[in-house]
Amino acid sequence: MAGARVSGALLLAVWGLSCLIAVTAVEVVPLKKRPLTAERLRLAVKSVPRKAHALGFHNVRDANSLTKNGSVPDIEPLRNYLDAQYYGEIGIGSPPQVFTVIFDTGSSNLWVPSSRCIFSPACWLHHRYKSRKSSTYKPDGTSIAIQYGTGQMAGFLSTDYVTIGDVVVKDQTFAESTSEPGLVFLVAKFDGILGLGFKAISKGQVTPVWYNMLAQKLISQPVFSFWLNRDASDEEDGGEIVFGGVNKDRFKGKHVYTPVTREGYWQFNMGDVAVDGQSTGFCAKGCAAIADSGTSLLAGPTGIVAQINQAIGATGLVSEECKMVVAQYGDLIVELLLAQVTPDRVCAQAGVCSLRNDNPHIASVLDKENQKVGDDVLCSVCEMAVVWVQNQLRQNRTKQQIEDYLNQLCERLPSPNGQSVVECAKISSLPNVSFTIANQTFELTPKQYILQVGEGAAAQCISGFTGMDVPPPAGPIWILGDVFMGVYHTVFDFGNKRIGFAKAV
Residues marked as catalytic: 104, 292
Contact 309, 463 (CB under 8 A): yes
Contact 14, 77 (CB under 8 A): yes
Contact 434, 444 (CB under 8 A): yes
Report the C-alpha gap between 301 and 52 in whole angstroms. Answer: 11
Which residues, at least 6 apart from 472, have a Cβ–Cβ distance to it below 8 Å? none
Which 8-state DSSP code applies to residue 2? Answer: -
| Count, residues in the chain | 505
Beta strands 152-164 and 251-259 are: unpaired
Contact 270, 287 (CB under 8 A): yes
Q: Give the largest CA-CA distance in the chain.
A: 82
**Which residue stretches of 339-420 are H helix?**
343-349, 365-370, 375-394, 399-411
DSSP string, 255-313: EEEEE--BTTTTEEEE--EEETTEE-SSSTT-EEEEE-TT--SEEE-HHHHHHHHHHTT
CA 463 to chain centre: 14
Contact 307, 280 (CB under 8 A): yes
Report the C-alpha gap between 209 and 173 in whole angstroms. Answer: 8
CA 373 to chain centre: 16
Beta strands 315-316 and 420-422 are: antiparallel
Report the C-alpha gap between 1 and 359 in whole angstroms. Answer: 30
Beta bridge partners of 274: 279, 434
Report the C-alpha gap between 106 and 474 in whole angstroms. Answer: 14
Amino acid at 422: V
Exposure of 259 in the CB half-sphere (CA atoms within 13 A) = 3
Is 111 exposed, middle or buried, given 0-12, 13-18 or 19+ CB atoms closer than 10 A? buried
How many CB atoms within 10 Å of residue 352? 22
Contact 160, 102 (CB under 8 A): no
